[in-house]
Amino acid sequence: MSEPRDDDEDDAELFRSAIGPVRPMRETAPPPSAPRPRPRARMAERDEAQAREQFRHALEDSLLEAGDALSYRRDEVSPRLLQKLKRGEISVQEELDLHGADTREAEQLVRAFLHDARQHGVGCVRIVHGKGLHGAATIASGGQPVLKNLVDRMLRHRADVLAFHSAPPAQGGTGAVLVLLAPRRLRS
C-alpha cells in the first residue's frame, strides 16, 4: 500500500477552504421500492383449468350421433307420459323446421318458437332439426349433428320443457323431436 502523497492532502485542504463551512444534509427516506406482486393462488388456478378441461371433455363425450334418440323427462313427468310422447300419441300442435339454419339462427328460432308456443297455450310441439348426415357444420364438428346437439342442450335447460323425445319414424324419427311444454301459468 502506498502512502498518501502530500499533493493529495494539499488538494483536499484547498477544496475544503474553497467551499467553506459544510453542513450535513438531512436524511431523506429512500425511494419506494416496486410494489410486490399480489399473491396468486396457482394451485386453485390449475385446479380450475383442469375442471374446465374435464367439463369440456365430458361435453364432447356426451354429444349425440346422427342415429341417437333424444330423450328427457323431468321428475314430475310420469314415465307413462314419456312413453306416449315417444310413440307419437300426443297431438303435435305446432312445428318448427330448422333445416338450413346455422347455430346462431337456430338458437334464436327455437327460443322464439317455444316462447310463442307457451304464450298461446300450446302443449306439444315438434322441432325438426335434421339427422345431421349432410352439411358443412356436421363435417366441421367432427361428424356430430350440430343442430341436433344444440336442440338437445337447449331443451334440457329450459324451465318450460317438461319432457322431450325423438319423434316416431312416421313423424321424422331421429331428425325431429317432440316437446311437451308446461302449461302457462296465469298471473293473478
| DSSP notation for 35-54 | PPPPP--HHHHHHHHHHHHH
Give the pLDDT of residue 128: 94
Residues 6+ apart with CB under 8 A from 138: 132, 144, 145, 146
User: In which domain, by residue range, is 165 found?
Assistant: 65-181
For 162, phi then psi, to 5°, come to -85, -40
Q: Is residue 19 assigned to a domain?
A: no
**CATH code for the domain of 69:** 3.30.1370.110
Q: Is residue 170 assigned to a domain?
A: yes
Q: Is residue 21 assigned to a domain?
A: no
Q: Is residue 149 assigned to a domain?
A: yes
Give the pLDDT of residue 134: 59
The one-letter code for the residue type at 80 is R
Give the pLDDT of residue 20: 85
Give the pLDDT of residue 23: 83
Give alpha helix (H) positions in the chain.
6-19, 42-61, 79-87, 103-119, 136-140, 146-156
Q: Is residue 33 assigned to a domain?
A: no
Give the pLDDT of residue 143: 66
Q: Is residue 35 assigned to a domain?
A: no
Task: Give the chain's residues under pLDDT 70.
Answer: 1-7, 55-62, 133-143, 186-188
What's this model's pTM, rounded to 2 decimal places? 0.63
Give the pLDDT of residue 186: 54
Give the pLDDT of residue 54: 72
Q: Is residue 163 assigned to a domain?
A: yes
Closest listed residue to residue 182, CA positions, set 135, 98, 119, 132: 119
Q: Is residue 79 assigned to a domain?
A: yes
Give the total number of structural domains in the chain: 1
What's the DSSP call for residue 160? Answer: T
Give the pLDDT of residue 61: 54
